Amino acid sequence: MKIHSDILTAAQTKALGRLGPFAHREGFYLGGGTGVALQLGHRRSGDLDWFTSTHPADPLRLAASLRQEKIPFVTGQAERGTLHGRVYRVPLSFFEYAYPLLKPAFHWREVGCPIASLADLACMKLAAIAQRGSKKDFIDLYALGQKRYSLTDMLAFYRSKYDIRDIGHILYGLSYFDEAEKERMPRMIWNVDWKEIRKTVQGWVKSCAR
């Protein structure tokens, strides 16, 4: 698996070097847009989102454990199953996420960091789009579709991961761009614009709805 470490800032690389081994020991894996971008190299992504399904994520215990490891974690917000904060000014979050991985996480040896598979990340992106699709979510899904899976494949993964048969709400979410239209484009590495991404996703949905 090729990792596109060039999508990271120096601060993110430093933060991952400290957080990767800790996250691995604690049963977390890297997901979110950064997880997709590291594997596909399509855009830059500013935050680090960590997930676990193996045990409850006690935010106060996590924060204490991070500091015990001499990781300079600054707590932002803590609530049941969720911890937000920063390391070297890089925003990061730890989430309790009840759904098991479909495929084993890829272990990025250079930083000791487990990264969710693209199949699992596709499911998580579809779930996010069903709730309120951000421009980044649509862009990540587009990249997944261009480089790895068809929308039909991704919907099959979604059904399996979340044990859901009816995907009508997903197709609706994939056709609703109002909120995404208001947002700025992230810093892209691929030479593609929003108009092309939206048109491509619309084409996928039409093909699936036939």
- Please tell me the pTM assigned to this model: 0.95
Q: Dump the DSSP string for 43-108.
A: B----EEEEESSS---HHHHHHHHHHTT--EEEEEEETTEEEEEETTEEEEEEE--SPPSSPPEEE
Confidence of residue 56 (pLDDT cuts 50, 70, 90): low
Closest CA to 159 of 172, 146, 144, 169: 169
Tokens 């979050």 sit at which residue? 93
pLDDT of residue 210: 67
Judge contact between 98 and 80, C-beta under 8 A: no
What distance in Å separates the CA atoms of residue 90 and residue 112, rounded to the nearest whole number? 18
Q: Which part of the chain is CATH 3.30.460?
A: 5-116
Name the CATH architecture for the domain at 5-116: 2-Layer Sandwich (3.30)
pLDDT of residue 182: 95
**Model confidence pLDDT, tens digit, residues 82-108:** 999 999 999 999 999 999 999 999 999
10 Å CB burial of residue 3 (0-12, 13-18, 19+) is middle
Sheet holding 29-31, edge to edge: 73-79, 82-87, 90-96, 48-52, 29-31, 113-115, 106-108
**Model confidence pLDDT, tens digit, residues 3-41:** 999 999 999 999 999 999 999 999 999 999 999 999 999
